[in-house]
Amino acid sequence: MTTKKLYLESIEAAYLEEFSAKVLAIDQNKVILDQTLFYPLGGGQNWDLGTLQGPNGEMNVVEVRGRDSIHHTVDDTFDLEVGDAVHGKIDFERRYAHMRMHTAQHLVSGIAYEMFGGVRTVGNQIHTDQSRIDFKPIQFTEEMLANLQESVNHQITQNLDVTDSQMTRAEINSIMSEERTNMDLLPSFITDLRVITIGDKQDLCPCAGTHVRNISEIKGIEFTGKKSKGKGTQRVTYKLIE
């Protein structure tokens, strides 16, 4: 049983707020739909919130998880049956914050790689108010972070478009090194991927998250902290400038 992921159909699809679907299965208060705009927890990005309107009323979606089948956890107002038609609406303020934050993460990771001798992004967590990136191997000084912040914010003023495409593993590796794109960390059996590209390959990275159309929408970033995570790994937190 597979849920069609409407938010992955294009960059533009990430801006959609409402959709219609059919209930495929129910497990207690978890609902599986034939298609959805709700982004599930994954790739470091938190899930979407919103509502489902069914034949018997409206339910709040409080958690979304899954890979093939997307499970929408709804609140105590749950009143649905298999086969019901529903109308979904996502909390777009939350979604848009994730879109800006996730695109900023790509930009920061790409610029850091170029500035600091191929430092790699080994983890990230995308939230609405503050997000974080784990880098390795590096120990940032305050000056290094200030220079990185300045470079990222300057790049944002270049108004580069963000595009998505489907590419094979071989095609990605022919454009950028496996270390730059973290392709060497993906299982070898994955051969076809959705790729997010900023500008004319200023950054290129396999990703199933939601992103903005143009990096100007990020507006700007500010680093808010750093701490060691051991073994040469350092965690950097950032927020967006409104």
- Specify whether 79 is located in the same domain as 154: no
Contacts of 155 (CB under 8 A, 6+ apart): 107, 111, 202, 215
pLDDT at 183: 76
Other beta carbons within 10 angstroms of residue 129's beta carbon come to: 8
Total domain count, the chain: 2
Question: Over the stretch 13-61, which tens digit does the pLDDT of each residue have?
Answer: 999 999 999 999 999 899 999 999 999 999 899 999 999 999 999 999 9
Number of Cβ within 10 Å of residue 13's Cβ equals 15
State the pTM of this model: 0.94
Give the domain CATH number at 212. Answer: 3.30.980.10
Indicate the pairing of strand 30-33 with strand 18-27.
Answer: antiparallel
| Same domain membership, residue 219 and residue 156 | yes
**Pairing of the two strands 4-5 and 35-36:** parallel
CATH number of the domain to which 25 belongs: 2.40.30.130
Q: Which domain-ending residue is among 75, 90, 105?
A: 90
* Domain end marker among 34, 61, 90: 90
CA angle 139, 145, 148 (to 5 degrees): 120
Say how many C-beta atoms besides its own lie within 10 A of residue 131's C-beta: 27
Is residue 179 located within the same domain as residue 60? Answer: no
135 and 86 assigned to the same domain: no
Q: How many whole angstroms separate alpha carbon 157 and alpha carbon 177?
A: 26
Question: Are 216 and 118 part of one and the same domain?
Answer: yes
**Is the domain of 131 the same as that of 179?**
yes
Give tens-digit pLDDT for 142-164. Answer: 999 999 999 999 999 999 999 99
Distance CA 19, CA 70 (A): 15
The pair of structure tokens assigned to 151 is 């470079």
Per-residue pLDDT reduced to its tens digit, 183-233: 777 777 788 899 999 998 888 999 999 999 999 999 999 999 999 998 889
CA diameter of the chain: 58
CB neighbour list of residue 212: distance below 8 Å, 6 or more residues apart:
11, 14, 96, 99, 100, 103, 162, 218
- Regarding whether 99 and 218 lie in a shared domain, the answer is yes
Question: Are residue 110 and residue 50 in the same domain, yes or no?
Answer: no
State the pLDDT at residue 179: 78
For 209, the token pair is: 């998250």
Confidence band of 86 (pLDDT split at 50, 70, 90): very high
Domain region containing 32: 4-90
Q: Are residues 40 and 120 both part of a single domain?
A: no
- Asked if 84 and 101 sit in the same domain, the reply is no
Strands 71-74 and 57-65, sheet pairing? antiparallel
Same domain, 116 and 83: no
Side chain identity at residue 92, one-letter code: F
Residues 84 and 154 in one domain: no
Whose tokens are 């938190």? That residue is: 46
Q: CA-to-CA distance for 236 and 242, rounded, in angstroms?
A: 20
